[in-house]
Each structure stands twice: as structure tokens, then as C-alpha cells.
């Protein structure tokens, strides 16, 4: 699958961490938009309609799990897959994230930026397949 210029929204308040992931995403031909807090993340998601959102949990203004909830309950953003990327890898956070609709949950210190990219690619491929299946189901004749 070709991901060239696929837009990823990165919601991360730690500037250096954001820069590090941005570099790796761009080296893999993704386009990246950076939001510094949860509120900005929601605004950018609604306006820019990224293919995928990568979000931290502890964020200023609106935390990542609240953002996830808000994204999943909004018609414009509910279909955008969200990968939670955090250093708070506790079971409760993971459970909350998946039950709210996260596509994946990655613990920062356990995954290199390259591994994060690999996980993003898997989620994007899965989403593309699901979307194609849904289109086929709605229009089986392809007309």
C-alpha cells in the first residue's frame, strides 16, 4: 500500500517528542500536522480530516482519552482511526482507550519511532480494507 502524502495528525504536547515522531513519519513519506493540545487536536481533526490520528494521553486543555471520546462521537471525525501513544501504559488506560474506540495503543518507551510507523501502517491498511468492504457491501454490483 502506498502511503505517500497520507496525512497524519500528531497530538503531542512535548515539542521534542513531536519533532522526533514527525521526522520519522516524514521519512516514511507521510505528511504530518502537529497539535500541541487536545483542543487543537480536535479542531485540526475536524478541519483537516487526517487519515489517522496519533495522540498522547496526558495533554493540556483536553486529555487524549477525552479527545478520543469526542472524536468518536462526532460525525465528521468518528471514522478516523486513532492510535494512542503514551508513556502511561497501565492496563486501565489501555482498556479505556480500546473501549472508547482506539485503533491501537502504543507505549512510547517500548516502541521506537520506526515501530510506531509500522503500527500506523497496519492500522491504515486495516482501515482501508474495512472501508472497501463497506463500500462493496453497500454497492455489491459496483455500479
Q: Please state, as a whole number, how many other Cβ atoms lie within 10 Å of the Cβ of residue 66.
A: 16
All cell numbers assigned to 135: 463500500
Its sign, for the CA torsion 76, 82, 87, 89, is positive
Binding another protein (rule: CB under 8 A), the pick from 23, 122, 133, 135 is 23
Q: Rule CB under 8 A: is residue 24 a binding residue for another protein? A: yes
**Pair type for strands 82-86 and 52-55:** parallel
Q: Rule CB under 8 A: is residue 101 a binding residue for another protein? A: no
- Shortest distance, CB of residue 83 to another protein, whole angstroms? 16
Q: Rule CB under 8 A: is residue 106 a binding residue for another protein? A: no
Binding another protein (rule: CB under 8 A), the pick from 114, 129, 131, 134 is 114
- Shortest distance, CB of residue 65 to another protein, whole angstroms? 14
3-state SS assignment for residue 103: coil
DSSP letter assigned to residue 87 = S
Binding another protein (rule: CB under 8 A), the pick from 13, 32, 41, 70 is 13
The residue among 117 and 123 lying less far from another protein, judged by its C-beta, is: 117
Crossing angle of helices 113-138 and 15-27, rounded to 10°:
60
The 57-96 contact track toward another protein, x by CB under 8 A, reads -x-x--------------------------xx--------
Residues, the chain: 143
C-alpha to C-alpha distance for 84 and 106, rounded to whole angstroms: 6
Q: Rule CB under 8 A: is residue 40 a binding residue for another protein? A: no
3-state SS assignment for residue 36: coil
Interface contacts to another protein, rule CB under 8 A: 13-14, 16-17, 19-21, 23-24, 27, 58, 60, 87-88, 108-109, 112-114
Amino acid at each position: 500500500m502506498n502511503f505517500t502524502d497520507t496525512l497524519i495528525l500528531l497530538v503531542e504536547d512535548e515539542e521534542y517528542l513531536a519533532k522526533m515522531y514527525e521526522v520519522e513519519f516524514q521519512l516514511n513519506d507521510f505528511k504530518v500536522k502537529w497539535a500541541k493540545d487536545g483542543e487543537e487536536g480536535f479542531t485540526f481533526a475536524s478541519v483537516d480530516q487526517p487519515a489517522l490520528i496519533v495522540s498522547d494521553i496526558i495533554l493540556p486543555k483536553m486529555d487524549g482519552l477525552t479527545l478520543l471520546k469526542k472524536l468518536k462521537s462526532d460525525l465528521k471525525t468518528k471514522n478516523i482511526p486513532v492510535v494512542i501513544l503514551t508513556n502511561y501504559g497501565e492496563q486501565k488506560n489501555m482498556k479505556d482507550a480500546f473501549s472508547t474506540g482506539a485503533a491501537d495503543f502504543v507505549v512510547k518507551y517500548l516502541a521506537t519511532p520506526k515501530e510506531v510507523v509500522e503500527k500506523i501502517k497496519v492500522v491504515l491498511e486495516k482501515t482501508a480494507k474495512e472501508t472497501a468492504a463497506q463500500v462493496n457491501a453497500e454497492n455489491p454490483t459496483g455500479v
